[in-house]
């Protein structure tokens, strides 16, 4: 890709006719000033570039949480469980996201929902599809291992961990990560105001009647969309 030198003045260019794309890009980058920083809410931050490093305020998740709907158990209580020798555990409580969870006593279980904190005394979750529930208890036919279907505290990131470095472009996923980290506002570089001009006697605006020899200025739309 080449840009005609007579159409674009480049400081320090010694080329008489054409300037390579890489040289043109370098000249633009060297001569366009960085815009001042500003604060934006994380909901509106996607598409901005980070102006300073951002670290998390909290750990995510803050505590061990369940990855499944099912029953929180102590893995020790399921030792030796099999089809021929199932283990029965009474359901003694319920754990839901956003609420303090009931503790799990020895030989007991607690009904738990996805995202709920793992109750004290439990170290694993049995999905509801993998056990039978009857008469206020569950029947477990296979032993479970510690940590099964449990997301450990801080697995996504820890409090104080660096999330985004300066000059990073914020995408939708990164904006969500900042929100999960307790970040309300991000310091970003301002967005430039850009004008796009299409030149050529043959160009007409889309929607106008195309007179003889005229074409619609589609490149203007493409460039505006990319910007």
Residues 75-122: tens digit of each pLDDT: 999 999 999 999 999 999 999 998 877 799 999 999 999 999 999 999
pTM (two decimals): 0.70
* In the block, residue with structure tokens 């990855």: 67
3-7, 40-44, 94-98: least confidently modelled range: 3-7
Question: Rounded mean pLDDT of the chain?
Answer: 90
Judge whether 27 and 129 are in contact, CB under 8 Å: no
- What is the predicted pLDDT for the residue at 93? 93
pLDDT band, very low/low/confident/very high, at 227 (cuts 50, 70, 90): confident
More reliable by pLDDT, 114 or 32: 114
The predicted model gives 203-213 an average pLDDT of 83
Give the rounded distance of the alpha carbon of 27 from its chain centre: 34
Question: Per residue in 125-183, pLDDT tens?
Answer: 999 999 999 999 999 999 999 999 999 999 999 999 999 999 999 999 999 999 999 99
> DSSP character for 223?
H
Rounded percentage of the chain residues whose pLDDT exceeds 70: 93
Determine the Cα–Cα distance for residues 45 and 118; give it in Å rounded to an integer: 33
Question: Which H/E stretch holds residue 164?
Answer: strand 162-164
Please check whether residue 52 is in contact with residue 165, taking contact to mean a CB–CB distance below 8 angstroms.
no
């Amino acid at each position: 890709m080449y840009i005609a030198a007579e159409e674009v003045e480049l400081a320090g260019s010694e080329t008489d006719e054409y300037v390579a794309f890489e040289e043109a890009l370098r000249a633009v980058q060297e001569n366009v000033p960085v815009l001042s920083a500003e604060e934006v809410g994380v909901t509106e931050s996607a598409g901005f570039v980070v102006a300073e490093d951002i670290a998390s305020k909290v750990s995510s998740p803050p505590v061990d949480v369940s990855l499944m709907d099912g029953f929180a158990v102590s893995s020790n209580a399921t030792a030796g469980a099999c089809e021929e020798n199932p283990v029965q555990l009474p359901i003694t409580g319920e754990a839901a996201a956003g609420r303090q969870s009931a503790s799990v006593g020895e030989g007991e279980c607690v009904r738990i929902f996805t995202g709920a904190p793992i109750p004290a005394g439990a170290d694993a979750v049995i999905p509801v599809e993998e056990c039978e529930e009857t008469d206020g208890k569950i029947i477990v036919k296979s032993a479970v291992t510690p940590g099964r279907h449990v997301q450990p505290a801080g697995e996504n990131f820890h409090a104080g961990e660096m999330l985004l470095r300066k000059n990073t472009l914020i995408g939708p996923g990164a904006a969500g990560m900042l929100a999960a980290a307790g970040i309300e506002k991000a310091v970003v570089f301002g967005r430039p105001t850009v004008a796009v001009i299409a030149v050529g006697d043959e160009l007409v605006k889309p929607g106008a009647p195309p007179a003889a020899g005229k074409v619609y200025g589609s490149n203007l739309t493409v460039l505006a969309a990319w910007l």
